[in-house]
Structure 1
Amino acid sequence: MYDIFAKIALSKIEEAINNGEFDDLPGEGKPVNLDYLVSIPPEMRAAYTVLKNSGVVPEEVHLLKQISELRKQLSACPEGESKNQLTKKLMDTEVKYKLMLETTRRKKR
């Protein structure tokens, strides 16, 4: 079943290329930035890409951005009370993210 759809899709893509429909598109010849996919589990990347292209950002992505930002702040923060607060906030955010992932995985079963 998949092979049929893959062949149809490839046929349509080749037809569009031959008709020049992909010529002069914005960003032509520039590398595609896929850095945002690094922190997303492989089994969820396709779904996140579709959501991102639709303008919808899941809560998990917001949490990943928060985690990344908190890690940057921690690395630049001197020892002391503020570093302890940042560490606690980072741990809380990571736990929340992991719980969301686990909930999603259980729903898929």
Structure 2
Amino acid sequence: MPSIYDILAEQRIADALRRGEFDNLPGAGKPLVFDDELFVSPEQRMANKVMRNAGFSPPEIGLRKAIAKLRAEIAGLDESERRSALRRRLAMLIVQLGEISRSGR
């Protein structure tokens, strides 16, 4: 059963909608942006948000970007010594990412 506060809040929201107070708000008509951290605890999600706002990112983010970049570069190369070197580097980055994931850093 809703409390009196829930009922009052819903009533005030409905009144504001009728008066058009929610029209022309910043971001109106644009999709909402949600953090894609569904499997992260709320505490860790908050810590990640603080870090992001301060311009920092966890090490695994940098590794994932480097892995994606190397994969794209490797895909565009024919078999060569350079491709082999890049594949070794890619394997090393994947191992590092796995170590970070296992350690929970």
TM-score (norm 2): 0.59
Three-state SS of the structure 2 residue aligned to 1:42 is coil
Three-state SS of the structure 2 residue aligned to 1:72 is helix
For residue 100 of structure 1, report the CA deviation from its aligned partner: 0.7
Instruction: Report the residue type matching 1:57 in the other structure.
Output: S
**For residues 70 and 42 of structure 1, do their structure 2 counterparts lie closer, same or farther at Cα, with a shift above 3 Å needed?**
farther
Q: Aligned residue for 1:104?
A: 104
Three-state SS of the structure 2 residue aligned to 1:43 is coil
**Which structure 1 segments of 5+ residues have no match?**
1-10
Structure 1 distance, partners of 2:103, 2:92, is: 17
For residue 78 of structure 1, report the CA deviation from its aligned partner: 1.2
Structure 2 distance, partners of 1:65, 1:28, is: 32
Q: Aligned residue for 2:25?
A: 24
Q: Which has more radius of gyration?
A: 2
Structure 1 distance, partners of 2:62, 2:89, is: 14
- Figure out how many residues of one structure are paired with residues of the other and give that number: 87
More helix by share: 1
For residues 68-83 of structure 1, what are the structure 2 equivalents within 5 Å?
A: 68-83=68-83
The ranges of structure 1 where at least 4 consecutive aligned residues each deviate by more than 6 angstroms after the TM superposition are none
Share of identical aligned residues, percent?
26
**Which structure 2 segments of 5+ residues have no match?**
1-5
Structure 1 distance, partners of 2:85, 2:60, is: 22
Match of 2:39 among 42, 46, 69: 42
For residue 43 of structure 1, report the CA deviation from its aligned partner: 3.3
